[in-house]
Amino acid sequence: MPTEEPSDETVVQTASDAAEGVIFSHYKQSDVRDYDVTAIFEDGVLEVDVYLNAPEDEDEADPERVADDAALAARQAVDELFGE
């Protein structure tokens, strides 16, 4: 029995939620100066871009690394959504 594919909106929301979850697991929301998660799902291809402007403090995570981890988490969440 074929299963119904998630809608494009569901895919984008899943990716965005996962990326934001990673960002805010490393930083308090009040410490993040600015961030943007852009998730585009077209023709079965997911593109994720994460911009993060957060303090660079030796006691905190590296913002560039957190942004990369957030994008990876977004892709993994979508893979799980599709059961891969």
Predicted confidence band of residue 48 (pLDDT cuts 50, 70, 90): very high
CA angle centred on 19, ends 72 and 61, rounded to 5°: 80
DSSP 31: G
3/32: higher pLDDT: 32
pLDDT exceeds 60 at position 2: no
Predicted confidence band of residue 64 (pLDDT cuts 50, 70, 90): very high
Looking at every residue in the chain, the average pLDDT score rounds to 92
Give the separation between CA 46 and CA 16, rounded to whole angstroms: 11
Give the separation between CA 13 and CA 33, rounded to whole angstroms: 22
Residues 37-56 have a mean pLDDT of 95
Backbone angles phi, psi at 52, to 5 degrees: -140, 125
3-state class of 78 per DSSP?
Answer: helix
